Amino acid sequence: MPVSSELSVDQDSQPDSEGPALPVNELFESLQGEGVLAGVPSIFIRTSGCNLRCWFCDSYHTSWEPTHAWMDLDEVIDRVSEFDANHVVLTGGEPLIHEESIALINRLANRGYHITVETNGTIAPPPGTPIDLASISPKLASSTPTPERPPAGGEEDAVDAEDWQQRHEAGRIDHDELTALIERFPFQLKFVLTGRDDLPEIEDLIADLRAGTETEIADSDVLLMPEGQTRSQLAETRQEVAEVAIESGYRYTPRLHVDLWNDAPET
């Protein structure tokens, strides 16, 4: 199943070829673990690089310490076609910081794949981009790294956390880009909750977004996902998040892949 083990991992590598390429951290088949399509066999393409730095990022090697090999879009499509699934999930890092992601989405759509894009909601692709589900995960205040809350698994990055605190805080919510995403594509809004205290910020954001668009945002389009990279971390947050879902009327989403495979890579 894993294919990325064949890729050389070189932080400073540049694309070898002249053609369009993407920094790919891993490419694998699994079950969609989150959101309205949870349980659907899917091929994941994980690009490297992110414009934010959530302290809890479960893809540390795409944000805090970006590692990748460059892959031609032709090669990405060849790898994708080796699997049986017809759902593709483009994720990262933040896949939409890369212009080439749009070309990849177009090429995959031409081949008939259902395309989900996992995004932090700060960059809206052009209208008409053939995205079947924009899986938008706006980042709450509780995601911001601080020296006291450095990236999970990288305590030595406490200094970077100080640098990133302001940058992350300033960039994490962009109302115009969020509205454009919601108006242009079928969407879900999938929030990571560290606990009950995160709910008021979600309610305020949903109210602001509803006030700024004619596109309907139903309560069932809003999903609450417990923070946790491992089964034991999830065990500490999911009960409370489930209760918040019942009280608020928003949906709860599990993290199926963590239940099944814990924090193993390429799952």
Ligand X SMILES: C[S@@+](CC[C@H](N)C(=O)[O-])C[C@H]1O[C@@H](n2cnc3c(N)ncnc32)[C@H](O)[C@@H]1O
Q: Per rule CB under 6 A, is residue 267 in the interface with ligand 2KA? A: yes
Query: 96: Cβ–Cβ under 8 A, 6 or more apart, which residues?
Result: 117, 119, 122, 123, 124, 125
Give the 3-state secondary structure of residue 4: helix
Binding mask 65-94 for ligand 2KA (x = CB under 6 A): ------------------------x-x---
Nearest Cα to 244, choosing from 140, 146, 172?
A: 140
Cα–Cα distance, 137 to 150 (Å, whole number) = 20
Q: Per rule CB under 6 A, is residue 198 in the interface with ligand X? A: no
Binder of residue 30, out of ligand 2KA, ligand SF4, ligand X, none (CB less than 5 to 8 A by kind): ligand 2KA
42 marked as part of a ligand binding site = no
Binding mask 205-244 for ligand X (x = CB under 6 A): --------------------x-xxx---------------
Check if the beta carbon of residue 120 is closer than 8 Å to that of residue 52: yes
157 marked as part of a ligand binding site = no
The alpha helices in the chain, defined as continuous H runs, are 73-81, 100-110, 158-171, 175-184, 199-211, 231-248, 256-261
Q: Per rule CB under 6 A, is residue 26 in the interface with ligand 2KA? A: no
Which residues sit at the interface with ligand 2KA, rule CB under 6 A?
Answer: 30-34, 44, 89, 91, 118, 257, 267
Which residues sit at the interface with ligand SF4, rule CB under 6 A?
Answer: 50, 52-54, 57, 59, 62-63, 92-94, 120, 139
Residues making up the binding site for Mg(2+): 59
